[in-house]
Amino acid sequence: MTEENLADALNASNAPFAKMMGVVMTNVTKTLVEGELKVTEDHCTIPATLHGGAIMALADNMGGIGAFLNMPEGSVTSTIESKTNFLRAIPVGQTAKAVTTPVNIGRTLQVWKTEIFRDDGKLAAVVTQTQIIRQV
């Protein structure tokens, strides 16, 4: 798999929950994972803004992809910690844009940071997560 087609390949094989949510990868390398989620009414809380759980699920998927791309063959990854700062609401009809970068890529633990932006470019949330890497 070459870097040019990582986003398409990952969209085709993304986790079932991410597919159900509508997460679309737009740019994927080993050190940068970018994706989008079009905010529909099904993703919202009251009032019609993106639910915090949907923001966390989007970020969890993005960090998991980053960890997957950087773990040794024959390994699996799981999120063992996640922290979210909610800064601004993302209204229904907008697109949540996620940018995920590594904080640290270790042999057994990886830390990833996901920044989620609104259509106006303002930062809506920051998620930091820790992924454990285990041999299967």
How far apart are alpha carbons 55 and 134 in whole angstroms? 26
The reported pTM is 0.95
For residues 32 and 99, the answer to whether their CB atoms sit within 8 Å is: yes
**Total number of domains constituting the chain:** 1
Tell me what the mean pLDDT of segment 74-94 comes to.
98
Residue with tokens 């990854």: 77
CA distances to 44, 89, 90 from 47, rounded to whole Å, are 8, 10, 11
Chain segment 94-111, per-residue pLDDT in tens: 999 999 999 999 999 999
Read off the amino acid at residue 47. P
CATH number for the domain spanning 13: value is 3.10.129.10
**pLDDT class for 32, splitting at 50, 70, 90?**
very high
Its domain, for residue 53, covers 3-135
Chain segment 39-68, per-residue pLDDT in tens: 999 999 999 999 999 999 999 999 999 999
